[in-house]
């Protein structure tokens, strides 16, 4: 069993309208935009990152907004819901703010469901998460802390459960079709596996989670994880430089794309903490596209 993995690092979802996404995360949920860059593999579209004041691992929600993207279809083989931690007693505040009601997560914790602009499902879950408020945009006794968990919907959960055990997760709760896996002392985010043997396959599109990333401290630890995964038969990419972290990717048995991302170097690598997320940042190999991209990408802060 691996001991290098800390929990979730980031979650990346496909979107359509970057301004709507930006308004939802910074306005409605009160997180901070910590990086405005482009999809390194498709630089004509943004890659937008939201999180706490520094976009710390375990708080970073990211989007690939493809303007006009067709909506995805929910089903098996995907992360169908991302949960964010809020303090105990904060659910009624969020229900009121979002114009909805208080429900519960699969294990009974008070929670508030909310959909982002592309229909991607989020649940704000009350928990004892010890992290401070992500930002000062919402009162500290109510503000989001970071990821609480993700819910993976799978036709057959056995292979993914084995993978999570290899990665250092342990089953901590089970209720009906839902099984929760967490890392003892883990910093952020459980993984719930939801068995839906008869549901159709998901179809990826706007509002679909593209991949989930797990945190390791350093590049050395990432290489240890890569070796272990390869030894267990997983087809893992080489290490890829994402400027703000190093990444490796592999497909989990249930079909969900997993990434292992380093905590180093972080989002303040190329701009000061005070102004994170304001200027368009491009990786060196796309810098020659700047003039065109600055004109082509829809401005995010116009009219605010």
Q: Which residues bind Zn ion (CB under 5 A)?
A: 12, 213, 259
Closest CB to Zn ion among 80 and 261? 261
Closest CB to Zn ion among 161 and 213? 213
Q: What torsion do the CA atoms of 253, 256, 260, 266 make, to the nearest 10 degrees?
A: -170
Closest CB to Zn ion among 69 and 212? 212
Closest CB to Zn ion among 179 and 262? 262
Cβ neighbours of 241 (radius 10 Å): 12
User: Does residue 7 contact residue 60 with C-beta atoms inside 8 Å?
Assistant: no
At its nearest, how many Å lie between Zn ion and the CB of residue 243?
A: 12
Strand order in the sheet with 32-39: 240-241, 245-251, 257-265, 209-216, 7-15, 60-65, 42-51, 32-39, 280-281
At its nearest, how many Å lie between Zn ion and the CB of residue 60?
A: 9
The C-alpha atoms of residue 299 and residue 304 are separated, in whole angstroms, by: 11
At its nearest, how many Å lie between Zn ion and the CB of residue 286?
A: 17
The C-alpha atoms of residue 283 and residue 147 are separated, in whole angstroms, by: 27
Closest CB to Zn ion among 111 and 247? 247
Closest CB to Zn ion among 169 and 258? 258
Of 108, 252, 255, nearest to 173 (Cα)? Answer: 108
Residue 113, SS3 per DSSP: strand
At its nearest, how many Å lie between Zn ion and the CB of residue 90?
A: 28
The C-alpha atoms of residue 22 and residue 29 are separated, in whole angstroms, by: 10
Closest CB to Zn ion among 12 and 262? 12
Residue 265, SS3 per DSSP: strand
Residue 167, SS3 per DSSP: coil
Sign of CA pseudo-dihedral 248, 24, 117, 124: positive
Instruction: Please name the helix (run of DSSP H) or strand (run of DSSP E) that holds residue 181, with its range, or none.
Output: strand 178-182
């Amino acid at each position: 069993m691996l001991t290098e993995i800390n929990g979730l690092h980031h979650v990346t979802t496909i979107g359509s309208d970057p301004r709507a996404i930006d308004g939802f995360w910074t306005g409605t949920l009160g997180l901070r935009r910590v990086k405005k860059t482009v999809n390194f593999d498709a630089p004509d579209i943004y890659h937008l990152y939201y999180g706490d004041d520094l976009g710390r691992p375990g708080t970073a929600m990211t989007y690939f907004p493809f303007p006009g993207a067709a909506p995805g279809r929910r089903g098996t083989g995907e992360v169908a819901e991302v949960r964010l931690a809020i303090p105990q007693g904060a659910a009624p505040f969020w229900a009121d703010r979002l114009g909805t009601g208080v429900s519960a997560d699969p294990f009974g914790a008070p929670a508030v469901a909310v959909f982002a602009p592309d229909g991607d499902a989020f649940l704000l879950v009350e928990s004892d998460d010890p992290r401070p408020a992500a930002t000062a945009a919402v009162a500290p006794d109510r503000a989001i802390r970071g990821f609480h968990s993700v819910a993976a919907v799978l036709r057959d959960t056995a292979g993914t459960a084995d993978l999570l055990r290899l990665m250092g997760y342990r089953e901590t709760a089970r209720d009906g079709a839902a099984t929760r896996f967490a890392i003892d002392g883990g910093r952020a985010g459980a993984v719930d596996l939801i068995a839906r043997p008869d549901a159709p396959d998901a179809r990826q599109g706007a509002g679909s989670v593209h991949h989930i990333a797990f945190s390791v401290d350093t590049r050395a630890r990432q290489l240890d994880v890569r070796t272990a995964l390869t030894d267990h038969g997983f087809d893992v990419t080489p290490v890829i430089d994402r400027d703000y972290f190093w990444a490796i990717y592999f497909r989990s048995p249930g079909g969900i794309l997993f990434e292992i991302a380093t905590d180093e170097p972080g989002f303040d690598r190329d701009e000061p903490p005070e102004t994170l997320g304001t200027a368009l940042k491009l990786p060196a190999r796309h810098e020659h596209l700047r003039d065109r991209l600055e004109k082509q990408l829809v401005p995010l802060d116009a009219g605010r």
